[in-house]
Amino acid sequence: MFETVSPIRRQQQPTNRRGKCRYPLTVPVYYRAQNGQRAPWKKGTTVDMSATGILLDLPSEVEPGEELALALEWTGLYHAKERMRLLARVEVLRCDARGTAVRILEHEFEEVQAVVPTRYVRGKEKLAVA
């Protein structure tokens, strides 16, 4: 009649507290400090991404609370355009063994113009190619 409850508790599976799904995405990313100065771009790699944040693998340490400018080549089509770049202003949330977690504050896409190789024709001008 009555179901007995076992005194042994079942182990709870860890719940995902994230509000958005993360997708594995490994592409090169360029970043620099967003402090108004023209800092040089540094190169890192994305680990995964959601609609509101990105996990990055960066070669140098950044501080939580710091704002960064990011630029990464967008994979796949975006509004029927094949070559796009995602530009974002992000805030560093944490740095740990898994990577550097950032929250996207602003973002925009820009179209990347295809690079067309230029042929130099030798003629009277004798153009030099460096």
Residue keyed to tokens 């007995």: 4
Q: Is the pTM of this model over 0.85?
A: no
Q: What is the pLDDT of residue 13?
A: 46
Q: What is the pLDDT of residue 112?
A: 83
Q: Which long-range contacts (CB under 8 A, 24 or more apart) does 78-87 make?
A: 78/109, 81/111, 83/111, 83/112, 83/113, 83/114, 84/109, 84/110, 84/111, 84/112, 85/109, 85/110, 85/111, 85/112
The rounded distance, in Å, linking the Cα atoms of 68 and 92 is 8
Domain locations in the chain as residue ranges: 23-111
Q: What is the pLDDT of residue 114?
A: 61
23-111 has which CATH code?
2.40.10.220
Assess whether pLDDT exceeds 60 at residue 4: no
More confident: 114 or 5: 114
Assess whether pLDDT exceeds 50 at residue 32: yes
